[in-house]
């Protein structure tokens, strides 16, 4: 759960969202995150966790849970490397 809290902190810093951010929240429809916001959020995630998320991977991210899953996947790959 700590990882998810770190992720929601990053999202909150990049958008003006007063409510709780939930895993099922859709980036565009629920949180009103546009493509520029997504790039800023992903850049901060990459810096914070020292990972890289490719452009084609970003296109597949539609919910907060999608981002959390991708982050976990990248961190697991990094741990194995």
> Which CATH number do you get for residue 43?
1.10.1200.10
| Residue 47, H or E segment | helix 35-49
Task: Tell me if 21 is assigned to some domain.
Answer: no
For residue 48, give Cα distances in angstroms to 6, 23, 80: 9, 20, 19
Q: Give the pLDDT confidence of 37-71 residue by residue, as tens digits.
A: 999 999 999 999 999 999 999 999 999 999 999 99
> How much is the pLDDT for 18?
84
The confidence score (pLDDT) of residue 81 equals 76
Question: Could you give the number of structural domains in the chain?
Answer: 1
Average pLDDT over the chain reads 95
Domain range holding 76? 2-7+28-80
Is residue 56 situated within a structural domain?
A: yes
């Amino acid at each position: 759960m700590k990882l998810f809290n770190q992720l929601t902190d990053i999202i909150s810093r990049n958008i003006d969202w007063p409510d709780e951010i939930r895993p099922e929240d859709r980036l565009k429809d629920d949180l009103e995150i546009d493509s520029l916001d997504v790039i800023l959020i992903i850049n901060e995630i990459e810096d914070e966790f020292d990972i890289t998320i490719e452009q084609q991977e970003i296109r597949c991210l539609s919910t907060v849970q999608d981002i959390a899953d991708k982050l976990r996947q990248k961190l697991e790959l990094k741990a194995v490397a």
